[in-house]
């Protein structure tokens, strides 16, 4: 992100201990990781495949993810490439559930929407 200011959100405030903030990029990475765990997801849009992530690091996961947080409520938009032969609605539903659960469990923020745009389908070379 360079010198650009990152958006951060307070997820806990305690007058005795201080506050906990989280960057929107971290929420996006959590969403991307959760989405990539679902069978049938080939990559994030922008070609963040599992192999590429292991070489380039977690930040490449946030490329196909947009996160908006307003007063502790999160809206996530993901652009995905799916694997050929998988049911789009089934895979999308699993991604929505997994992303919502991961963000809520790890941050305490409430996820209102997980919007998915299927940007492409990866076709194996054998087909």
Triad 53, 56, 57: Cα angle to 5°: 65
Residue-by-residue pLDDT tens, the chain, 127 positions: 344 446 887 888 888 889 888 888 899 999 999 999 999 999 887 654 555 455 545 556 667 899 998 888 999 999 999 999 999 999 999 999 999 999 999 999 999 999 999 999 988 877 5
Instruction: Decide: 36 and 74 in contact? Cβ < 8 Å.
Output: no
Q: What is the pLDDT of residue 40?
A: 96
Q: What is the pLDDT of residue 2?
A: 42
Angstrom distance (rounded) from CA 127 to CA 117? 24
Angstrom distance (rounded) from CA 61 to CA 125? 25
Q: What is the pLDDT of residue 61?
A: 65
Helix, strand, or coil (residue 27) = helix
Global pTM? 0.82
Q: What is the pLDDT of residue 3?
A: 40
Q: Which domains does the chain carry?
A: 8-122 (3.30.70.1350)
């Amino acid at each position: 992100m360079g010198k650009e200011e990152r958006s951060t959100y307070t997820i806990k405030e305690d007058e005795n201990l201080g506050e906990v903030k989280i960057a929107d990029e971290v929420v996006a990475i959590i969403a991307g990781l959760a989405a990539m765990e679902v069978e049938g997801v080939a990559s994030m849009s922008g070609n963040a495949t599992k192999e590429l992530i292991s070489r380039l690091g977690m930040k490449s996961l946030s490329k196909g993810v947009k996160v908006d947080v307003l007063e502790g409520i999160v809206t996530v938009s993901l652009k995905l490439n799916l694997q050929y032969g998988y049911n789009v609605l089934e895979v999308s539903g699993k991604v929505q559930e997994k992303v919502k659960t991961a963000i809520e469990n790890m941050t305490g923020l409430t996820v209102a929407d997980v919007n998915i745009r299927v940007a492409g389908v990866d076709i194996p070379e054998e087909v």
